[in-house]
Structure 1
Amino acid sequence: MTATRIRAPRPQDAEALAELHLETWAETYCGVFPDSAWGQEARRGRIRMWSSICSAPRPGDCFAVAERDGRLIGLAGAGASQDSPAPREKQLFFIYVLASEHGTGAGQELADAVLSQGPASLWVLGTSSRAMAFYSRNGFVPDGTRRPCAYEGAGDEIRMVR
């Protein structure tokens, strides 16, 4: 297997990153989120989001992509906490890796690239045992805070901190 390359996203990556984001969401949340979560309206929103991230990220935000053999396989982002009050200054916004790349270390490399080892918080779907185990291995523990997922019927999100 070729080594994973971690790098910053580039403006020309925006559409491919939007597609990757939707593909990883569909792999991760199929049967949990409605199909509209990766439908055409969601696609347009992700293209706008990634165009902005790739061309003019907010100060203090850090985004990284994982690439293997010239193909984007994962993405991650972190920055200032979006919670009020913030349990930690830094928050992991997301890490998504293609299911075919699970277990290759790409997710860990992405986490290391956007978070380092310092204090941080994140939100994870409470039914996502694989993600919760990954975050636990990275020193995160639930802090007892829950909120409903934006998609009705998908369960609660759990905040984890380290």
Structure 2
Amino acid sequence: MIRPATRADAPAIGEMHAQAWVETYPGLVPAALFEEMTDPARRRAAWARNLAEPLLEGGTFVAEEAGAILGFISVCRARDAALGTGGEVSGLYLLRRAQRRGLGQALLAAGAARLLAEGLTDAAAWVLDANHQARAFYVATGAVPGISQTGYHGETAVSETAYVWRDLSCIPPARDPPAPLR
């Protein structure tokens, strides 16, 4: 089930977000960033703040099954004018066990619908260049590579590219209900 997130979801989203980082980013980001993002207490606190003061009211959705949050998407107005879009996918994460079931597509469709409701017709998402799976997902949903940048965490450079959906109305709606966990 895809539904809007509530403040009460902050602890579960925080735990899930930390676990998604553990599953996805070892060796792809500097150790200090990895440690920060995989600390469940820090993620829970960050999500308590995010849901108390959202960048876009109603802009976070969760994928939930049997009471467990398996993923989320957060959308907002673009925070960086260099993106050249009105909207931004500020986060889209799924636990590994929930991937390849249609949940990512369902979350993206919910986020696109929310942005369209705000009158935002295009959006971008920053993706680490080393995250090949996320890049392939965005391309499969109609996004094209846009601008790239390199950021530094301490001495370590991290390269990322903005993937851009020029027309959010072209993001296909979610398929049939996602396949159940096995």
TM tier relative to shorter chain: 0.7 to 0.9
Deviations 1:81-117 (CA, angstroms, capped at 9, x unpaired):
1113441010010110000111011111111111237
1:143 aligned partner: 146
Aligned to 1:67: 64
Cα offset, 1:145, TM superposition = 2.5
Per the TM alignment, residue 61 of structure 1 is displaced from its structure 2 partner at its CA by 5.9
Q: Is the 8 A contact 1:149 1:157 kept in 2?
A: no
Aligned residue number for residue 90 of structure 1: 87
Q: In structure 2, do the counterparts of structure 1 residues 153 and 91 end up closer, same or farther at CA, with 3 Å as the change threshold? A: same
Q: How does 1:101-120 map to 2 (within 5 A)?
A: 101-116=98-113, 118-120=121-123
Aligned partner of 1:124 among 120, 123, 127: 127
Q: Cα offset for 1:55? A: 3.2
Report the TM-score, using the length of structure 2 for normalisation. 0.76
Structure 1 equivalent of residue 44 of structure 2: 47
Of 133, 158, 165, the residue aligned with 1:155 is 158
Structure 1: gaps of 5 or more residues: none
CA RMSD of aligned residues (A): 2.2
The verdict on how the C-alpha distance between 1:159 and 1:149 changes in structure 2, with shifts beyond 3 A counting, is farther
Residue 133 of structure 1 pairs with residue 129 of structure 2 = no
Q: Percent identity?
A: 28
Cα separation, partners in 2 of 1:125 and 1:89, compared to 1, 3 Å: same
**1:149 Cα deviation after fit:** 5.7
CA gap of 1:149–1:77, structure 2 versus 1, over 3 A, is: farther
Amino acid of the residue matched to residue 99 of structure 1?
Answer: R
Paired residues, number? 156
- Indicate the residue corresponding to 1:37 in structure 2: 36
1:139 shift after superposition: 1.3
The answer as to whether partners of 1:63 and 1:78 remain within 8 angstroms in 2 is yes
The unaligned stretches of length 5 or more in structure 2 are: 166-182
Judged with a 3 Å threshold, the aligned counterparts in structure 2 of structure 1 residues 49 and 19 are, in CA distance, closer, same or farther, namely same
TM-score under structure 1 length normalisation: 0.84
SS of corresponding position for 1:108: helix
